Structure 1
Amino acid sequence: MKKTCTVTLVPLGRTLQVARGALLSDAIHDLGIEFPCGGKGICGNCKVKLLAGEIALSPQHRTVLERKGLLPGWRLACLSRVEEDLTIEVAQFDNIVLADETPFRFTPREGRGIAVDLGSTTIVSQLLDLSTGRVQAVQTDINPQARHGADIMSRISYAIQSEEHAARLTALVRETVGRHVLTLTAQAPGPIDRIRIVGNSVMHHLFCRLDVGPLAAYPFESPDNGMRHFSAAELGWLEVSGTKPPVRSSQTQHSDRNALSAAEPDNANHLSVADKLAGTDIAFLPNIGSFVGSDILAGIYAAGMFSSGSPRVLIDLGTNGEIAVGSRNGILCASTAAGPAFEGSNISCGMRAATGAISSVTRLGAETRVHVIGNVEAAGICGSGLIDAIRTGVQEGKISRDGTIATPSMELPLTGKVKLVQKDIREFQLAKAAIATGVELLLREQGISRCDVERVFIAGGFGNYIDLPNAIGLGLLEFDGEKIVKLSNSALIGAKMFLFEDDAFIDNLLPATSHLSLESNPAFLDVFCEKMSF
Structure 2
Amino acid sequence: MADVVIEPYNIRVSGEAGERLYDILKRAGVPFRTECGGRGLCGKCRLIIRSGNVTPPTEREIRLLGEDLVESGYRLACQTRIQGAVRLLVPLETRVGSLSVAYSGLARSAPLSPIVRKRLVDVQQPSLEKPLADADSLLASLNGERLDFGVEALRELPRALRRGSWRVTLSIWRGSRVIRVEPGDTTPENLGIAVDVGTTKVVVHLVDMNTGRTLGGVFSENPQVVYGDDIISRLRAALDNPKALEDMRRLVTGTVNNLVRTLLVDSGFASSEINAGVVVGNTVMHHLFLGVDVSGLSFSPFVPSFARPLELPGASLGLESVRMVYFPPVVAGYVGSDALADVIAVGLHLEDSPSLLVDIGTNTEIVLNTGKELLACSAPSGPAFEGGHIKYGMKAMTGAIASVSIEGDVVQYSVIGGVKPIGLAGSALIDAVASLLDSGILNERGFFNRDSSRRVRKSGEGEWYEYVLVYGEESGTGEDITVSEKDISELRLAKAAIASGVRTLLEHAGLDAGSLEKIYVAGSFGYSIRPENAARIGLLPDVDPSLVKQVGNTAIEGAKLMLLSEDMIAEALRVAREMKYVELSASPYFRRHFAKSLRLG
The structure with more radius of gyration: 2
Q: Is the 8 A contact 1:94 1:101 kept in 2?
A: no
Asked if 1:466 corresponds to 2:529, the answer is: yes
Deviation at 1:185, TM superposition (A): 5.2
Asked if 1:525 corresponds to 2:525, the answer is: no
Match of 1:88 in 2: none
Deviation at 1:430, TM superposition (A): 1.1
Q: Is the 8 A contact 1:456 1:484 kept in 2?
A: yes
1:138/1:365 CA distance change after superposition, 3 Å: same
Counterparts of 1:488-503 in structure 2 under 5 Å? 488-502=552-566
Deviation at 1:103, TM superposition (A): 4.9
SS in 2 for 1:477: coil
User: Where does the alignment leave 5 or more consecutive residues of structure 1 unmatched?
Assistant: 1-29, 34-90, 239-273
Measured in 2, the distance between the counterparts of 1:359 and 1:185 equals 32
Aligned mate of 1:412, from 464, 467, 489: 467
Match of 2:297 in 1: 215
Match of 2:199 in 1: 120
Q: Is the 8 A contact 1:145 1:172 kept in 2?
A: yes
Match of 1:356 in 2: 399
Q: Is the 8 A contact 2:357 2:366 kept in 1?
A: yes
Q: For residues 380-411 of structure 1, what are the alpha-carbon distances to aligned partners after superposition, in whole Å with 9 as ceiling and x for unaligned?
A: 21201110111121122221112112226321
Q: For residues 238-296 of structure 1, what are the alpha-carbon distances to aligned partners after superposition, in whole Å with 9 as ceiling and x for unaligned?
A: 4xxxxxxxxxxxxxxxxxxxxxxxxxxxxxxxxxxx5xx4xx32022221101111000
Q: What amino acid maps onto 1:412 in structure 2?
A: Y
| TM-score normalized with structure 1 length | 0.72
Deviation at 1:527, TM superposition (A): 1.3
Counterparts of 1:219-368 in structure 2 under 5 Å? 219-238=301-320, 277=322, 280-326=323-369, 329-363=372-406, 367-368=410-411
Asked if 1:486 corresponds to 2:541, the answer is: no
Deviation at 1:172, TM superposition (A): 0.4
1:365/1:138 CA distance change after superposition, 3 Å: same
Measured in 2, the distance between the counterparts of 1:494 and 1:164 equals 32
Measured in 2, the distance between the counterparts of 1:326 and 1:134 equals 30
Deviation at 1:464, TM superposition (A): 1.1
Deviation at 1:506, TM superposition (A): 3.1
Q: Is the 8 A contact 2:290 2:317 kept in 1?
A: no
Match of 2:234 in 1: 155
1:449/1:349 CA distance change after superposition, 3 Å: same
Match of 1:264 in 2: none
Measured in 2, the distance between the counterparts of 1:402 and 1:204 equals 37
Aligned mate of 2:578, from 492, 506, 512: 512
1:388/1:191 CA distance change after superposition, 3 Å: same
Aligned residues: 410
Q: For residues 456-512 of structure 1, what are the alpha-carbon distances to aligned partners after superposition, in whole Å with 9 as ceiling and x for unaligned?
A: 000112111111221111111112211000011010111111113445543222121
Measured in 2, the distance between the counterparts of 1:351 and 1:462 equals 12
Q: Is the 8 A contact 2:356 2:367 kept in 1?
A: yes
Measured in 1, the distance between the counterparts of 2:319 and 2:290 equals 14
Deviation at 1:373, TM superposition (A): 2.9
Aligned mate of 1:104, from 104, 108, 111: 108
Match of 1:171 in 2: 250
Measured in 1, the distance between the counterparts of 2:332 and 2:382 equals 19
1:501/1:32 CA distance change after superposition, 3 Å: farther
Measured in 2, the distance between the counterparts of 1:207 and 1:490 equals 20
Q: Is the 8 A contact 1:356 1:379 kept in 2?
A: yes
Measured in 2, the distance between the counterparts of 1:327 and 1:179 equals 42
User: Where does the alignment leave 5 or more consecutive residues of structure 2 unmatched?
Assistant: 1-31, 36-94, 118-189, 451-456, 459-464, 473-479
Asked if 1:205 corresponds to 2:287, the answer is: yes
Q: For residues 182-214 of structure 1, what are the alpha-carbon distances to aligned partners after superposition, in whole Å with 9 as ceiling and x for unaligned?
A: 444564597644210101111101001111222
Match of 1:16 in 2: none
Measured in 2, the distance between the counterparts of 1:193 and 1:448 equals 45
Counterparts of 1:76-87 in structure 2 under 5 Å? none
Q: Is the 8 A contact 1:305 1:327 kept in 2?
A: no
Measured in 2, the distance between the counterparts of 1:127 and 1:294 equals 19
Measured in 2, the distance between the counterparts of 1:133 and 1:101 equals 15
Q: What amino acid maps onto 2:362 in structure 1?
A: T
Q: Is the 8 A contact 2:399 2:422 kept in 1?
A: yes
Q: What amino acid maps onto 2:489 in structure 1?
A: R
CA RMSD between the two structures = 2.6
| TM-score normalized with structure 2 length | 0.64
Deviation at 1:94, TM superposition (A): 4.2
Deviation at 1:179, TM superposition (A): 2.1
SS in 2 for 1:345: coil
State, as a whole percentage, how many aligned pairs show the same letter: 34
Measured in 2, the distance between the counterparts of 1:403 and 1:291 equals 29
Measured in 1, the distance between the counterparts of 2:370 and 2:275 equals 32
Moved over 6 A (4+): none
Asked if 1:454 corresponds to 2:517, the answer is: yes
Deviation at 1:453, TM superposition (A): 1.9
SS in 2 for 1:413: strand
Please say which of residues 460-469 and 103-112 is displaced more in the overlay: 103-112
Q: Is the 8 A contact 1:126 1:138 kept in 2?
A: yes
Measured in 2, the distance between the counterparts of 1:212 and 1:32 equals 33
Q: Is the 8 A contact 2:102 2:527 kept in 1?
A: no
